[in-house]
Amino acid sequence: MSSFFEKLSSDLTKLLKTPNDHNVILEIGGDSCFPSPSSSPPMNQAPLNQRFRIFKAHSAILRARCPFFEAALSSEWVKKEGSLMIIKKPNIEPRIFDIVLTYIYNGTASLDEIPPVEIMKLLICSDELALEELITHTQEFLIKNHQQWIQSNVLSILEQVFDHSSFRSLQSYCVELLISTPSLLSKNTKEFLNIEEGLLFELLERDDFNKMEEIEIWDLILRWGVGNCVGLCDNVCGDDADDVNDIGDVKIKNDRTKDIKNHNVENWTDSETQEIARKISNLVYHIRFSEISSQDFSSKIEPFSKLFPAALWNEIQGYYDSSNYLNASSLLPPRRKFGSNILSHEHLEMLSDWIDPKDDFSSLAFPNDVTPYKFNLLYRASDESFSLKTLHERIDCLPNIIVVSKVSGSTEEEIVGGYNPIGWEDSGEFNPDIANSFLFSFKTRKDQTFGKISRIKQAMLDKVKFDSKIGLVCFGSSDLRIGGILRRKSGYTQLKYYESKIRDFQGTFDIDDYEVFQVLKQNHDG
């Protein structure tokens, strides 16, 4: 079938620019300057900074291309002036709607010259008009081309998109930013206080929200609760300057700010205490108390005991009295901290998928699920003076081993490694689990992690060896070697038994360090 999209798009663009037979008037924006269509400037050609603009359009195209207009132009809804149908959208800026209307007519949306603030407005507008294709494209463009801007404005972005199911990609990207860089939460106090409880809840329930100390997480929850208490926080600038503490455009009464800092709540009224307790009641269950020392608990949490549900507080006290979780059914276990100096949680998510296995080639931007595996660190070369004797004493008899090495001098934080499901103890018999072995590499570009995997060729399954006789860690003889007798901080790769190269350059490479893990299946059912 032939395709003539470009000609069709061009013809419909002409129809938009010279809408002589239009039957719809679209009044877009506020501060209406033009009481009637006849007194307006040239249609569909207004200045970029105009706050109000009238567009001419055709109902057949609007209804066919936009679900919102399909409903709005129905006979039950639409306002008519003679033969013209009138639609008013005072909350949409004309320059944003211009992009939308162009997309509706010709199926294109050029965002290259549009600043990210305007792209966000386009995203919100697209959602209001139910333009799913444009929503998807706009999110992808924003994430790909404006990552630094997103990072600088992550909280205000989440405030706009968190409750919109259409914005899953942008939501996930922003949440992952906060997981990897939790300091962004405290960068702007006003924006932090404005975030939804649901967002805090999502962060706190994540096992990989572990780059803050748990006592800092408690302080975060407390400040959010106090900042959202009407009696303690006032965003209006008319307060007495002597009675308020200005923190990032948010004014909190000085005595209450000091109370938080000094862990003193004796001066709080019952109503203030009850309101804060209500605000944080769902969040405190997700504090991992096993990671908070008894000293910090006594000095920084115990003074605020009235903010906790009574049953939960009893369990917390019982834990600190006995340091035992067995009788504390409401308390969560520690967050996932696997102790690697090389791998991140993004890497763990991808490795877990490959062990299962699922897709072999992936770009990991939004890891959301808790990994089904525990990565138990057995050996770190730099901690053992790169001793091969110690290495093999710890790993040779164990199955499900992952070796990871950090390549020296890489501008893309290159990591190279391999997974051995059968161990380095050669029984002389073929083990079918060998088919699950793979080599891999990771690179990081612009804060996004990319992974590559190479599995054993089917024809080589009965030939490949995991050799340890020569001392170093070896996958398939030459496909990947880590460590060495003479050059302990080196690696080597030369394709033979595996399907594809994991490095652009074959041969010897230098490494800064390497680590060895045993992979154990985790039980998340109870």
Query: In sequence order, what DSSP letters do the residues of 350-376 get, joined into one string?
Result: HHHHHHTT--SSEEES---SPPSEEEE
Mean pLDDT of 515-525: 75
Please list the alpha-helical segments (H only) found in 78-188.
94-106, 116-128, 132-145, 147-152, 154-161, 168-180
Residue with tokens 């710890």: 394
* Same domain as 355, residue 489: yes
* 152/293 same-domain check: no
Q: What is the pLDDT of residue 524?
A: 39
Domain stop point among 133, 161, 189: 161
Q: Span 339-354, mean pLDDT?
A: 85
> Structure tokens of 279?
């605000």
Q: Are 58 and 24 in contact (CB under 8 A)?
A: yes
Judgement on whether residues 79 and 215 belong to the same structural domain of the protein = no
* Co-location of 313 and 352 in the same domain: no
Task: With 0.85 as the threshold, say if the pTM is over it.
Answer: no
d(CA 474, CA 141): 42
The answer on 26 and 143 residing in a single domain is yes
Q: What is the pLDDT of residues 117-144, one digit of tens each?
A: 999 999 999 999 999 999 999 999 999 9
What's the CA gap between 315 and 273, in Å, rounded?
21
**What integer pLDDT is reported at residue 37 of this predicted model?**
44
Query: What are phi and psi for residue 146, nearest 5 degrees?
Result: -135, 45
Q: Cβ distance 373 to 517 under 8 Å?
A: no
Q: How far apart are CA 236 and CA 386, in angstroms?
A: 61
The owner of tokens 């329930």 is 205
- Predicted local confidence at residue 210, as pLDDT: 83
In a domain, 317, yes or no: yes
CA angle 162, 168, 172 (to 5 degrees): 80
Burial of 449 (0-12, 13-18, 19+ CB in 10 A): buried
Res 525: pLDDT: 39
Pairing of the two strands 250-253 and 233-234? antiparallel
At residue 337, does pLDDT exceed 70?
no
Q: Could you tell me if 74 and 35 lie in one domain?
A: yes
pLDDT at 269: 85
Tell whether 212 is covered by a domain: yes
Task: Answer yes or no: do 439 and 376 share one domain.
Answer: yes
| Residue 481 within any structural domain of the chain | yes
In this prediction, residue 32 has a pLDDT band, given cuts at 50, 70 and 90, of very low
Q: Do 136 and 214 share a structural domain?
A: no
Domain containing 23 — which CATH number?
3.30.710.10
Domain annotation covers residue 336: no
Domain co-membership, 364 together with 287: no
Cβ atoms of 341 and 380 closer than 8 Å = yes
pLDDT value, residue 328:
57
In the chain, % of residues over pLDDT 70: 81
Cβ neighbours around 47 below 10 Å, total: 10
| Per-residue pLDDT tens digits for 449-496 | 899 999 999 988 888 777 655 567 888 878 999 987 778 899 999 999
Task: Flag whether 394 is in a domain.
Answer: yes
Residues present in the chain in total: 526
Is the pLDDT score of 90 beyond 70? yes
Judgement on whether residues 373 and 494 belong to the same structural domain of the protein: yes
The beta-carbon contacts of 497-501 under 8 Å, at least 24 apart in sequence, are 497/456, 497/457, 497/460, 497/463, 497/464, 498/438, 498/439, 498/454, 498/455, 498/456, 498/457, 498/460, 499/454, 499/455, 499/456, 499/457, 500/452, 500/454, 501/454
Residue listed under structure tokens 């009464």: 253
Q: pLDDT tens across 426-456, in order?
A: 666 788 888 999 999 999 887 678 999 999 9
User: Is 443 part of a structural domain of the chain?
Assistant: yes
| Burial category of 39 from C-beta neighbours within 10 Å (exposed 0-12, middle 13-18, buried 19 and up) | exposed
Specify the pLDDT at position 71: 92
User: Residue range 108-116: average pLDDT?
Assistant: 93
Is the omega angle on the peptide bond into residue 421 within 30 degrees of 0, that is, cis? no
Does 429 map to a domain?
Answer: yes
Residue 203 confidence (pLDDT): 94
For residues 359 and 489, membership in a common domain is answered with: yes
And the tokens for 523? Answer: 């039980």
Instruction: Convert the pLDDT of each residue in 373-419 to its tens digit.
Output: 888 889 999 998 888 888 888 887 789 999 999 999 988 899 999 99
Instruction: Give yes or no for residue 102 having a pLDDT over 90.
Output: yes
Query: Which pLDDT score, from 0 to 100, does residue 164 have?
Result: 87
E strand spans, 248-311? 250-253
Q: Does residue 340 lie within any of the structural domains?
A: no
Into how many domains does the chain fold?
Answer: 3
Residues 318 and 349 in one domain: no
Going by pLDDT thresholds of 50, 70 and 90, the confidence category of residue 305 is very high
Contact 117, 147 (CB under 8 A): no
Q: Name the residue range of residue 94's domain.
A: 5-161
